Amino acid sequence: MRRATALSAAVSAVLTAALVSGPTLAHADEPAAFAPPTAGETPSDPPSETPVPVRPTVQSVTTAEGDGGLLRVAASSDSAIRSVTAQVHRYVESDPWLDQITTFTQQEDGVWQSGRIVLEKETDFGYAYGTYDVDVTVVDNDGDSTNVYVPSALDYRKRTRVLSHTTDAPTIVNYLHHTVWVRGKLDVFDPATGLFSDKLELNSLFIGVAVNGSTYAAEDIPDGTYAFPIWWPPLAADGSGTSVRIDYDGDGGTGVVDQFTIPPGEISPSRIRLDRTAVSLAAGAKASVSGVAEYYCEGLWRPIPYAQVSLDGTVVRAGSDGRFTATSPRAAYDDGIRSVSLDSSTDGYAYLKPTRASFRVDVNNAVTLDLRSSSLDQDAELHLSGTMSSSNHRPPADRRVYIQKSADGRTGWKTDGWFTAGGNGSFSVNRYEADPKGYWRLYYPGSAGYRPAYSRTVHHARYDTRVTGFNASPEPVRKGQAITVSGTLQKLTSSSWSSFGQQHVHYLFLARGSKKYTSMGYGTTDSQGRFSKRFTARQDGYWVAVWTTPDSSHVNASSGKDYVDVR
């Protein structure tokens, strides 16, 4: 039935506050709101000779011990109590509904107990388990009455009873013996039926294991029987062992099934044995290493099955035999030391001492020979310049670079000389080429930590020339007499020398004791490349014939020096 509006929300709040503030329950003879006047009655002060009514006193309103389906009321009055009634409040979509309970019977002196309370859900099939407020009215034989409102007085929830319980814990908890089995059986008391039952509906009871205050595992049990393996119970920080609590959460009820402590565990030494302690790789490659993860327990080193191993932030999982292969996510560009460690996500890590193993990374750095410029001048001088660099930005200690030459640029490479690059890797080389045509490149053979390298290939071609049969005569010669300077100019064509006609040949003279040549004029070679010119002998000295190329296809030619003694 619908609750009367006389019990307003404001009055309810006042009554609730009164109940909470102390053990004495609120009675109708306190504030006027407890007993509003009946319809048509005008309140007035009673005559002084009229006795003041003594209303019943309610000491407590509680759920019967162990049975949330029974409500117990302790009350007293100046005359026998005639009736005890109660209304149970529950809320569906904020609309208050009441269940009227009138079947209270006296159980003992001053205590009345209701019949079994059956609270059904407003929607869906089943019972409305939970905690409810109760509105109790007590009337004595004098017609005096008291009404009290008690929040959360009815604990209408299922209760679980432990029928059996065992804990199979190893004597010593360590990495080798770490599983604790918790087994038991329980049944549930239903306040709606007043019966215990182990025939639980599937998912009607939820068992959870709390380890050191945190939920570890949970499962639904359909028949009251449970068995839990506790894997790797964590170690207590103070070494006192692991606190375990078995909780249940049934349909409308919660509680603790059992509590116990697992003895403190042992910490085992662990190690990582690497197959190699050094890894050699090219610059830019990623280091890989393999090995086995092990722990020491009960006198033996044993593999850690499925160990989690970390290398440079990448975690790999070992096999059942503890073996693993890990590859770094980082490319290596310089020598260094890397470490492999046992990751904390390894099963049972709490029972293992942390460990790591180190290995050396030897990087073979890439070397670059940047031949930036090259040329071959008219004097058959080869000019090479550029830089030598490496992938670790440091030139190697041994910076000897070889000049190689090939006729076709593909095969037959031969060393044509060498030089040493500067400390910063730069170089600038000038060298005479007896055969001024072909292909050139630079070659670095490599050294400790540095790979071999080649530069680009360059091509230059100038035809060689020469002066043969050069002579200044006669000698000795008297001063003022004539001297004839002659010779032949030739050029190299294919693999043979031929005449080089119609070319200007310059005559130079170096007087004895002087360091400066004097130009004595020039002449033109005939069709056979021959040249000849007469001069007046004036002083001792050297005569030289020189041809300078007018194009980029030949090199200059110079005769040897011929000394003439003038007397």
Q: Please name the residues in contact with 129: beta carbons below 8 A apart, sequence gap of 6 or more.
A: 119, 156, 157, 158, 191, 251, 252, 253
- AA letter at 179: T
pLDDT at 33: 36
pLDDT at 92: 56
Same domain, 341 and 455: no
Same domain, 434 and 321: no
Same domain, 335 and 354: yes
pLDDT at 241: 75
Query: Which of 461, 492, 525 is where one domain is finished?
Result: 461
Same domain, 395 and 519: no
> What does pTM read for this prediction?
0.51
Same domain, 30 and 115: yes
Residue 166 CA to residue 184 CA, distance in Å, equals 6
Quick one: which of 453, 483, 269 has its CA closest to 364?
Answer: 453
pLDDT at 410: 94
SS3 call for 516: coil
Residue 384 burial (10 A CB sphere; 0-12, 13-18, 19+)? buried
Residue 87 within a domain: yes
Query: Which of 209, 242, 262 is where one domain is finished?
Result: 262
Query: Which of 135, 156, 177 is where one domain is finished?
Result: 156
Same domain, 64 and 138: yes
Residue 146 CA to residue 140 CA, distance in Å, equals 9
Same domain, 15 and 141: yes
If phi > 0 it is left, if psi is from -120 to 50 it is alpha, else beta; for residue 93 that is: left
N- to C-terminal Cα distance for the chain? 158
Range of the domain at 408: 367-461
pLDDT at 20: 37
Residue 286 within a domain: yes
pLDDT at 158: 81
Same domain, 343 and 388: no
Check which CATH number belongs to the domain holding 94 and give it. 2.60.40
Residue 85 within a domain: yes
Residue 20 within a domain: yes
Same domain, 215 and 282: no
Residue 420 within a domain: yes
Residue 3 within a domain: no
Residue 340 CA to residue 302 CA, distance in Å, equals 18
Residue 319 within a domain: yes
Which token pair is 7? 């019990």
Same domain, 25 and 139: yes
Same domain, 457 and 522: no
Could you say which DSSP state residue 512 is in?
T
Residue 4 within a domain: no
Check which CATH number belongs to the domain holding 349 and give it. 2.60.40.10
pLDDT at 251: 53
Q: What is the pLDDT along the chain (567 residues), one digit of tens a residue?
A: 333 333 333 333 333 333 333 333 444 344 333 344 444 444 555 555 666 789 999 999 999 988 999 999 999 999 999 999 999 987 655 566 678 888 899 999 999 999 999 988 766 657 788 889 999 999 999 999 999 999 999 998 888 777 887 878 787 888 888 888 888 887 878 898 999 876 655 345 566 666 666 666 666 666 778 787 877 777 766 667 777 777 766 555 566 777 778 777 888 999 999 999 999 998 889 999 999 999 999 899 999 999 999 999 999 999 999 999 999 999 998 889 999 999 988 888 888 999 999 999 999 988 999 999 999 999 899 999 999 999 888 889 999 999 999 999 999 999 999 999 999 999 999 999 988 989 999 999 998 888 999 999 999 999 899 999 999 999 899 999 999 999 999 998 878 999 999 999 999 999 999 999 999 999 999 999 999 999 999 999 999 999 999 988 899 999 999 999 999
Same domain, 201 and 143: no
Quick one: which of 274, 276, 245 has its CA closest to 261?
Answer: 245
Rg (CA), the chain: 56
- Counting the structural domains of the chain, the total is 5
